[in-house]
Amino acid sequence: MSKLYGSVEAGGTKFVCAVGDDDFQVLEKTQFPTTTPYETIERTVEFFKRYEDRLAGIAIGSFGPIDIDKNSPTYGYVTSTPKEHWANVDLLGLIAKEFNVPFYFTTDVNSSAYGEMMVRKNVSSLVYYTIGTGIGAGAIQNGEFIGGLGHTEAGHVYVPRHPRDYSNEFYGSCPFHKGCLEGLAAGPSLEARTGIRGELIEQNSDVWDIQAYYIAQAAVQATLLYRPQVIVFGGGVMGQAHMLKRVRDKFTALLNGYLPTPPVEEYIVTPAVPENGSATLGNLSLAKDLSNN
């Protein structure tokens, strides 16, 4: 029987577990809410146990911050997350001790970035942002993840505030920073400003323009710092069809022709992998690479 590979997309809201074959065809996929570490990890282990005799590797893409330094005593841990019960949890260790296969451990957004790179021809430098209940980004340069002491945390960069946010004295909803990208532009910021849940806010509300202004700043930063070939914006907020055009327009205005980039419709895009499958695809490939090394 051919080998199988495992993917764990460990999100702050839900876990998505999948097994796939050599061609990254998904044989089975399941998801469940992220509850306590004990319960969530137990369900993850249970899912993969049924495939144990054929599994050749498992990749975990996790919400963070996480420790990805293999020489660190807390390698594989979720570290300083404000998510209840999950700070300082040995996510990788608690799963890996149940299996006799190699594991790859990275951020959920790195997994998504990897999946998005795989489906694009001649792309080896890419940045993937998720704009949802939180904001994170995975960055790949020449086929390798960017990071030094740890993974990057591009969701928590400080961004200049929109004039209307100044007048509201709104500093964002991040418990760590006053005025970071995630606090000002992730889903919860919409409700914090308006008192209305994001999906119920009218399309002509100027709150969308405020949010697009911050997301466009992220695209400018990614452009200036990494010079990627493409910037992918995923996540629930970008599922609103009108957002992409707003972000492209504001990006063009903010960069102001300073650097050449590909045409904005090709450069700033939403995911090419359908059905939120970017991270699963990326993980299956990372898991396969492990078992080939």
Cβ of residue 137: shortest distance to Zn ion, in angstroms? Answer: 13
Determine the interface stretch with Zn ion among 166-174, 195-203, 220-228, 257-265 (rule: CB under 5 A).
166-174
Each residue 207-236 as x (binds Zn ion by CB under 5 A) or -, in order, gives: ------------------------------
Cβ closer to Zn ion: 95 or 180? 180
Member of 10, 109, 146, 180 binding Zn ion (CB under 5 A): 180
Number of residues that bind Zn ion (CB under 5 A): 6
Residue 54 interacts with Zn ion (CB under 5 A): yes or no? no
Number of residues in the chain: 293
Q: By CB under 5 A, tell whether 177 contacts Zn ion.
A: yes
CB of 79 to Zn ion, least distance (A): 15
3-state secondary structure the chain: CCCEEEEEEECCCEEEEEEECCCCCEEEEEEEECCCHHHHHHHHHHHHHCCCCCEEEEEEEECCCECCCCCCCCCCCECCCCCCCCCCECHHHHHHCCCCCCEEEEEHHHHHHHHHHHCCCCCCCEEEEEECCCEEEEEEECCEECECCCECCHHHCECCCCHHHHHHCCCCCCCCCCCEHHHHHCHHHHHHHHCCCHHHCCCCCCHHHHHHHHHHHHHHHHHHHHCCCEEEEECHHHHCHHHHHHHHHHHHHHHCCCCCCCCHHHHEECCCCCCCCHHHHHHHHHHHHHHHC
CB of 68 to Zn ion, least distance (A): 19
Residue 176 binds to Zn ion (criterion: CB under 5 A): yes
Q: Counting contacts by CB under 5 A, is residue 164 touching Zn ion?
A: no
Token couple for 58: 């498992």
CB of 173 to Zn ion, least distance (A): 9
Structure token pair of residue 51: 């495939």
Is residue 135 a contact point for Zn ion (CB under 5 A)?
no
Site string for Zn ion, 182-201 (x = CB under 5 A): x-------------------
In whole angstroms, the minimum distance from the beta carbon of 177 to Zn ion comes to: 4
Give the integer Cα–Cα distance in Å for 293 and 63: 26
When the beta carbons of 75 and 171 are compared against Zn ion, the nearer one is 171
Query: Whole-angstrom Cα distance, residue 244 to residue 126?
Result: 17
Task: Pick the piece of the chain touching Zn ion (CB under 5 A) from 9-17, 25-33, 162-170, 180-188.
Answer: 180-188
Judged by CB, which is closer to Zn ion: 81, or 285? 81
- CB of 215 vs Zn ion, minimal distance in Å: 15
**Residue selected from 3, 43, 83, 156 as contacting Zn ion according to rule CB under 5 A:** 156
Q: Which residues bind Zn ion (CB under 5 A)?
A: 156, 174, 176-177, 180, 182
